[in-house]
Structure 1
Amino acid sequence: MIGILIITHEAIGDAYRGLAQHFFPGDAPANVKILGVTQEQQHEEIIGRTQTLIQELNCHDGVLVMTDIFGATPCNAARKLVREGRVAMLTGLNAPMMVKAIQYSPAAADLTAFTQSVKAAAINGILDITTPPDESC
């Protein structure tokens, strides 16, 4: 099992928590934690809280940390905790990424392959639609 840690700017974390509950009714899976970072929090505090959450996940196959924006505070804190084979990170969090990660993480055992699979879901979930639908169907 791979743990999932979502770290975002404060209210975005709450929105993703609600979205997770929509797709996965009931309590959040035990291998999923969400941290919303506030403007008042110091960088070291965020790193400490992130370390604690990674330890609480206690997933022997590793932890995938997903953040909202590359280069922003949640990302910068999480990036310091990446450890090859133990903690990986993806940025640019979107709904397809989150759903794929939560759905398949309980059965996943290869952190690198799982990270690439979740990244592909994020990218494939972005479509450019520039013409109206065909009304003849």
Structure 2
Amino acid sequence: MIGLLIITHEAIGEAYRSLAQHFFLGDAPQNIRILGVDTHEDHDSIISRARQMTADLNCDAGVLIMTDIFGATPCNAARQLVESGKTAMLTGLNAPMMVKAANYAPAADNLAAFTQLVKEAAVNGIIDITSPPEGCPV
């Protein structure tokens, strides 16, 4: 099993927890931890809490850390946790990424392959629609 640590600005992570609960009809899976970062929180405190959450996940296959915005405080803290073969990170958290990660993490055992699978879901979930469907009034 691969653990999932979601580090986001404030309550954004809680919205993703609700999304996971919606898809899994109840509690979010036990291999998911959410860390909402307060705007005034100390960088070292964020890293310390994230390290503890990563350890609490106790997933032998590793932990995928997902953050909302590259270069922002949650991302910068998460980068300190990346350890080859043990933890990996993806930025740009979106709903397709979260659903794919939550659905496939329990059976996953290869962190690098899993990270790529989740990244592809994030990218493939972005669809540009620039005109209405045929037959629909404008």
TM-score range, shorter chain: over 0.9
1:73 aligns to 2:96 (yes or no): no
Cross-structure match for 1:13: 13
Cross-structure match for 2:128: 128
Aligned amino acid, residue 72 of structure 1: A
Aligned amino acid, residue 121 of structure 2: A
State, as a whole percentage, how many aligned pairs show the same letter. Answer: 68
1:110 aligns to 2:110 (yes or no): yes
d(CA) in 2 for partners of 1:112 and 1:37? 26
- Compare 103-112 and 31-40 and name the one that shifted more: 31-40
Cross-structure match for 2:63: 63
Cross-structure match for 1:36: 36
- Compare 127-136 and 104-113 and name the one that shifted more: 127-136
Aligned amino acid, residue 58 of structure 2: N
Give the SS at the match of 1:126: coil
* 1:92-135 deviation digits (Å, cap 9, x = unpaired): 00000000000000000000000000000000000000111012
Give the SS at the match of 1:131: coil
Give the SS at the match of 1:19: helix
Q: CA deviation at 1:81?
A: 0.8
d(CA) in 2 for partners of 1:36 and 1:116? 24
- TM-score of the superposition, structure 1-length normalised? 0.97
- TM-score of the superposition, structure 2-length normalised? 0.96
- Structure 1 unaligned residues grouped into runs of 5+: none
Q: CA deviation at 1:8?
A: 0.3
Give the SS at the match of 1:5: strand
Aligned amino acid, residue 124 of structure 1: N
Instruction: Kindly tell me the number of residue pairs found equivalent between the two proteins.
Output: 136
1:49 aligns to 2:44 (yes or no): no
Aligned amino acid, residue 105 of structure 2: S
Runs of 4+ in structure 1 deviating by more than 6 angstroms, as ranges, are none
- Structure 2 unaligned residues grouped into runs of 5+: none
* 1:21-77 deviation digits (Å, cap 9, x = unpaired): 111122221111111110121000000000000000000000000000000000000
- Compare 56-65 and 6-15 and name the one that shifted more: 6-15
Measured on the aligned residues, the alpha-carbon RMSD in Å equals 0.9
